[in-house]
Structure 1
Amino acid sequence: MGEVDLKVRDPNELNSHIQVNFADVFGEPDGVRSMDCVWENSYACFECGKNLCYKIMTFFCGLCIALEWGCEFAMITFNHVWCWTPCLRDFSITMGCAQKFFGTCVSCCLVPFCEGCGAFFSKIKISKS
């Protein structure tokens, strides 16, 4: 079992689309400014609310949700290993035989007919008058 990296928690950048920093959500354009104390306290309230709410939700729900997703991916893996992959392998073996059979039938019956039609229609000449 691999070690959990406590510093880099999204090494594959799965959630890089989620911007939850104050500067990614709020920005005052030039020419419009709130008071400095409002801006600074808004930052503090935003960060405190975001962090506290996230920590409470992960404390109460994170372990159960992680367990459920672990079970879900275990079921998906089980189905692929024990059901889907053997079924697909069986299907591909069976269809390989069917492909050879029908390919031979087409080569014996349809190819001569199509070659004859092609030779017949290749002699047609169209001229504009």
Structure 2
Amino acid sequence: MLEELDLDERDPNDINGHVKVGFEDVLAEPAGAHSIACVWKASHVCFTCGKNCCYNILTTLCGIFIALYWGCEFAMITFSMVWCITPFLRLFSITMGCLQKYFGTCITCCLAPICETCGLAFTRITVSKT
């Protein structure tokens, strides 16, 4: 079942806040360098219409296909995570836990007595300055 779409607020999580571009964000005339008012107004209309028309044409031609591609891409990522990567990581974690216990036991049995003996031998050494 399709969830209800909010056709007014299409970016509720502000994912694309960085591309909210208006006329004022691109073109600005500083004080003392103003064009004729009718040119400024016509520029605003041309910019806004051009941006909106181009965006609508591109989304009409490509939007559905690109959305289908991204839907499939995220489906493949989810499939990989659920069926391949997460079980492998769990297997790896179990295997490494066993190897960690094995290695720790070997170190404790074989290397620890040698280190302890060397430590006791070197505690008898004294250094004096002459």
Q: State the distance in 2 between where 1:32 and 1:123 align.
A: 88
Deviations 1:3-41 (A, max 9, x none): 211111111111111131111111111111111011110
Which consecutive unaligned segments of at least 5 residues does structure 1 have? Answer: none
Q: Which 4+ stretches in 1 moved above 3 angstroms?
A: 115-129
Which consecutive unaligned segments of at least 5 residues does structure 2 have? Answer: none
2:47 equivalent in structure 1? 46
Q: State the distance in 1 between where 2:125 and 2:20 align.
A: 69
Q: State the distance in 2 between where 1:49 and 1:126 align.
A: 86
Secondary structure in structure 1 of the residue aligned to 2:59: helix
How high is the TM-score relative to the length of structure 1? 0.89
Count of residue pairs brought into register by the alignment: 129
How high is the TM-score relative to the length of structure 2? 0.89
2:4 equivalent in structure 1? 3
Cα deviation for residue 122 of structure 1 reads 4.7
1:63 equivalent in structure 2? 64
Q: Which moved more, 1:115-124 or 1:98-107?
A: 115-124
2:82 equivalent in structure 1? 81
Cα deviation for residue 123 of structure 1 reads 5.0
Over aligned residue pairs, what C-alpha RMSD do you find?
Answer: 1.7
2:111 equivalent in structure 1? 110
